[in-house]
């Protein structure tokens, strides 16, 4: 099985972006998750574990987080200690493609922004199904990057965004895996029961709007070497488009439209 490769890395700057991303999205995710008191939770690809902690807090239990990066685990525990919530986490350094947990030991197996970064998403979902008891829930949240819409659209955004999605292809990953979540659940033997979108966006006049634009600017800027170095877009075109993206944050008529795909199945 090919090794998963996360295009954005684990630098302190990327960890700061992920922390901000959690702040923008976690409340919406928690509403959809409908965590039940006492649920035993395992989070596949827990990253900085902010959502893992929030799920554990709602369940009133200690959640297991599976994360392959020691840097991410270290920062996750630092944040948990700072919040006085270290007791909510059991973090294990495991690659979710190849590692395993106690079969049938959990009520909920969850993964967010993981399947887009692995060459074999079905293997991860299969492991999630094995992890839950009969009747247990499997929740998948992931990207379909093709749904991004900004308006007024920054000049050059469409070819730059297409080039960004191609960087996933070059790694053997899937930038549009979000539309496949229900199919993946069915493929590995889970019964799909629900799907929806989690809106991820804002418009000028909302306090969070600049943060959405900054998140987009960061992931594009951090992918410059992969895009330009692989000949997916010229350097001058890349740099000019990035300037236009950043300017969107100051426009009084601008809107950022995106959504995260959400699917739930049961074993």
Q: Specify the fold of 12-266.
A: Rossmann fold (3.40.50)
Residue-by-residue DSSP string for the chain? -PPP--TT---HHHHHHHHHHHHHHHHHHHHHH-PPTT--EEEET-TT-HHHHHHHHHHTSPEEEEES-HHHHHHHHHHHHHTT-GGGEEEEE--TTT----TT-EEEEEEES-GGGSS-HHHHHHHHHHHEEEEEEEEEEE--GGG-EEESPPTTHHHHHHHHHHHHHHTT--TTGGGGHHHHHHHTT-EEEEEEEEE--EETTSTTHHHHHHHHHHHHHTTHHHHHHTTSS-HHHHHHHHHHHHHGGG-TT-EEE-EEEEEEEE-
Domain boundaries, the chain: 12-266
Q: How far is CA 115 from CA 35, 93, 111, in A?
A: 22, 18, 8
The mean per-residue pLDDT over the stretch 105-111 comes to: 98
pLDDT one-digit tens code per residue, 165-204: 999 999 999 999 999 999 999 999 999 999 999 999 999 9
Overall pTM surpassing 0.75 (yes/no): yes
pLDDT one-digit tens code per residue, 192-244: 999 999 999 999 999 999 999 999 999 999 999 999 999 999 999 999 999 99
pLDDT one-digit tens code per residue, 9-57: 557 777 677 777 778 889 999 999 999 999 999 999 999 999 999 999 9
pLDDT one-digit tens code per residue, 49-86: 999 999 999 999 999 999 999 999 999 999 999 999 99
The mean per-residue pLDDT over the stretch 120-130 comes to: 97
The mean per-residue pLDDT over the stretch 242-253 comes to: 97
């Amino acid at each position: 099985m090919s090794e998963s490769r996360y295009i954005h890395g684990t630098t302190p700057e990327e960890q700061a972006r992920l922390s901000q991303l959690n702040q923008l999205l976690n409340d919406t995710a928690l509403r959809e998750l409908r965590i039940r008191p006492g649920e035993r939770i395992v989070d596949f690809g827990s990253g900085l574990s902010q959502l893992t902690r929030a799920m554990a807090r709602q369940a009133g239990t200690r959640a297991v987080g599976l994360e392959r990066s020691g840097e991410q685990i270290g920062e996750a525990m630092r944040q948990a200690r700072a919040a006085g919530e270290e007791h909510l986490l059991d973090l294990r350094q495991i690659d979710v493609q190849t590692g395993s947990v106690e079969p049938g030991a959990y009520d909920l197996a969850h993964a967010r922004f993981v399947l887009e970064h692995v060459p074999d998403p079905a293997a991860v979902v299969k492991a999630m199904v094995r992890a839950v008891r009969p009747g247990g829930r499997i929740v998948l949240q992931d990207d379909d990057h093709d749904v991004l819409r900004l308006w007024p659209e920054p000049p050059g955004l469409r070819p730059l965004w297409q080039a960004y999605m191609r960087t996933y292809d070059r790694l053997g990953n899937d930038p549009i895996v979000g539309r496949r979540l229900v199919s993946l659940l069915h493929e590995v033997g889970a019964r799909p029961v629900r799907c929806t979108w989690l809106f991820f966006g804002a418009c000028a006049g909302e306090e969070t709007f600049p943060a959405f634009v900054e998140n987009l600017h960061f992931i594009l800027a951090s992918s410059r070497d992969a895009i330009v170095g692989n000949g997916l877009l010229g350097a001058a075109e890349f740099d000019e488009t990035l300037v236009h993206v950043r300017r969107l944050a100051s426009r009084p008529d601008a809107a950022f439209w995106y959504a995260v795909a959400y699917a739930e199945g049961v074993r």
